Amino acid sequence: MAFSPDGKKLISGSGNTTVRVWDTEPYSVLANERKRRAGVVELAEPLVNDLFEKLAEPSEVVARLRADNELTNRFREVAYQLTLKKSSERSAH
């Protein structure tokens, strides 16, 4: 067993090679974080979709997000996650 450096996750392993990751934060903290993220997703998703329509490659979308100094770190993080998800969906088709 080991805790993540920030103490928010506990990682455990078993004899059958199963590895599990556990949240150590109270549910209310996790629920609030999910609500905040959902609000950011609503704002970031149209931007990511628009960038994918205009730009040919996911790397170009990431570069554009990285270069936009008006984005908050949280917004940029969520936009990167959405970019990865959309890129995976594209390659699956």
Which residue ranges make up each domain of the chain? 26-92
CB-based contact 83:77 (threshold 8 Å) = no
Q: To which H or E segment does residue 19 belong?
A: strand 19-23
DSSP 8-state assignment for residue 58: H
End-to-end CA distance of the chain: 39
Show pLDDT as tens, one digit a residue, over the chain (93 residues). Answer: 888 888 888 888 888 888 888 888 777 776 777 777 788 889 999 999 999 999 979 999 999 999 999 999 989 999 999 999 988 888 776
Q: What are phi and psi of 5, to 5 degrees?
A: -55, -35
pTM (predicted TM-score) = 0.62
